[in-house]
């Protein structure tokens, strides 16, 4: 399988040969930043189009089919419209916090996005506490949502922000415990080492039933964390007229819209990385011929294929189940998912200590 670190090392050596090490590092950081921003925007456009097509398929209709072949340029037209729309100034708001909130949400999303291992040797950030950093970075987004609801001086926005705060803080516990269960199995929090540990067998198979339970809980909690149906109470259009971003317009609203879709991809990519081997191909112990064939598929294809499957499952949730009430949503977390997660973590610790995993 091709190692992309060969390409990145060649670029690094080429820059260092023509400039000082400090200047080379600066240029590399700028290049990585530009690539991440471009990939972030492209990913948002692809996911918005995919959401519309999947929604249309579930509702037995066509979806976008006017702008471009099969409607594939509709999202580009929407992006241009969003960029050119006026940002309306609202009276009686906290101007500074009102304008700051969308940037906090998008920065938190970008930080988590930068930790994703796209392929063999393709990762911008790889700390020894990578999983912890990714959870911490993604959880910063709730600050922007709470500030948006409060600074808008709108009771519906405030209710939406409070709902979102209660929901995200609650379900972050289940996300953290699910990932901690797999950290116990892998023995490390470094994302690259977690992927390498799945070289022979993916963790969802290696960790027996506790790994499968952690995977299901993570998908449920991740869907709730991204405010997607059936957990989309903070944005309940029929109740709150869009929720915490009601008073936002133009690109300020666009930041929230884009971050929601990319956060869905981040949740899917974390599930892929921690449970499904990341960019690692499917290997079955004892079938060496099959394993060699799997190794010919590029690592980037493996990663995007698994992530696309997880994104489809999350979309499937939204367009299948009806919206929960706020009491049902919180009861699901505190009475069912959290106790089950704690018990599952203890079982995984016992399996690792006793060496019962594959």
Q: What is the pLDDT of residue 234?
A: 65
Long-range pairs for 107-111: beta carbons < 8 A, 24 or more residues apart: 107/140, 108/137, 108/138, 108/139, 108/140, 108/141, 108/143, 108/144, 109/40, 109/138, 109/141, 109/259, 109/262, 109/263, 109/266, 110/36, 110/37, 110/40, 111/137, 111/138, 111/140
Range of the domain at 230: 91-354
Question: Is there a domain that residue 139 lies in?
Answer: yes
pLDDT at 90: 84
Is 203 among the domain residues?
Answer: yes
Phi, psi (degrees; rounded to nearest 5) at 168: -70, -40
In a domain, 185, yes or no: yes
pLDDT at 304: 94
Residue 167's pLDDT is 86
- As a whole number of angstroms, the distance between CA 119 and CA 299 comes to 5
Token digits of residue 350? 């016992």
**Residue 102 forms part of a structural domain:** yes
Half-sphere exposure of 311 (CA within 13 A, CB side): 26
Q: Is residue 199 part of a domain?
A: yes
Does residue 72 fall inside a structural domain? no
Check if the beta carbon of residue 41 is closer than 8 Å to that of residue 82.
no
pLDDT of residue 334: 92
pLDDT of residue 236: 63
Q: Which residues contact 11 (CB under 8 A, 6 or more apart)?
A: 28
By CB atoms closer than 10 A (0-12, 13-18, 19+), residue 89 is exposed
Residue 333 lies in a domain: yes
The confidence score (pLDDT) of residue 242 equals 66
pLDDT of residue 336: 93
CA distance 12 to 21: 9
Q: Average pLDDT of each block of 10 consecutive residues along the chain (358 residues)?
A: 83 89 90 92 92 91 87 89 86 89 92 90 86 89 89 85 85 92 92 90 88 94 86 66 79 88 93 92 85 89 94 91 85 93 94 81
- Per-residue confidence (pLDDT) for residue 40, from 0 to 100: 93
Asked whether the whole model's pTM tops 0.85, one would answer yes
72 CA to centre of own chain:
23
Tell me how many domains the chain contains: 1
């Amino acid at each position: 399988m091709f190692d992309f670190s060969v390409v990145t090392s060649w670029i690094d050596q080429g820059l260092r040969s023509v400039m000082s090490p400090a200047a080379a590092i600066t240029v590399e950081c700028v290049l990585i930043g530009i690539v991440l921003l471009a990939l972030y925007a492209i990913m948002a456009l692809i996911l918005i189009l995919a959401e519309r097509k999947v929604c249309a398929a579930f509702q037995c209709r066509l979806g976008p089919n006017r702008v471009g072949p099969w409607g594939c340029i509709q999202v580009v037209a929407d992006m241009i419209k969003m960029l050119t729309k006026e940002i309306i100034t609202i009276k009686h708001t906290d101007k500074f916090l009102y304008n700051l909130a969308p940037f906090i949400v998008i920065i938190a999303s970008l930080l988590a996005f930068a930790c994703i291992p796209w392929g063999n040797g393709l990762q911008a950030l790889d700390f020894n506490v990578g999983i912890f950093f990714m959870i911490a970075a993604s959880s910063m987004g709730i600050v922007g949502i709470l500030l948006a609801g409060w600074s808008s001086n709108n009771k519906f926005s405030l209710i939406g922000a409070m709902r979102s705060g209660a929901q995200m803080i609650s379900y972050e516990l289940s996300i953290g415990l699910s990932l901690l269960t797999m950290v116990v199995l892998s023995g490390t929090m470094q994302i690259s080492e977690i992927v390498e540990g799945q070289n022979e067998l993916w963790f969802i198979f290696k960790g027996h039933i506790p790994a499968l339970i952690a995977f299901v809980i993570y998908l449920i909690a991740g869907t709730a964390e991204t405010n997607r149906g059936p957990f989309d109470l903070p944005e309940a259009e029929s109740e709150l007229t869009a929720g915490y971003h009601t008073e936002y317009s133009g690109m300020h609203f666009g930041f929230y819209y884009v971050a929601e879709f990319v956060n869905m991809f981040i949740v899917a990519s974390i599930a892929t990385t921690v449970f499904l081997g990341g960019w690692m191909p499917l290997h079955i112990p004892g079938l060496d011929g099959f394993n060699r064939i799997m190794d010919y598929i590029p690592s980037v294809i493996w990663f995007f294929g698994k992530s696309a499957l997880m994104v489809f499952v999350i979309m499937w949730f939204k367009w299948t189940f009806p919206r929960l009430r706020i009491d049902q949503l919180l009861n699901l977390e505190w009475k069912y998912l959290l106790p089950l997660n704690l018990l599952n973590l203890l079982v995984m610790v016992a399996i690792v200590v006793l060496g019962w995993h594959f």
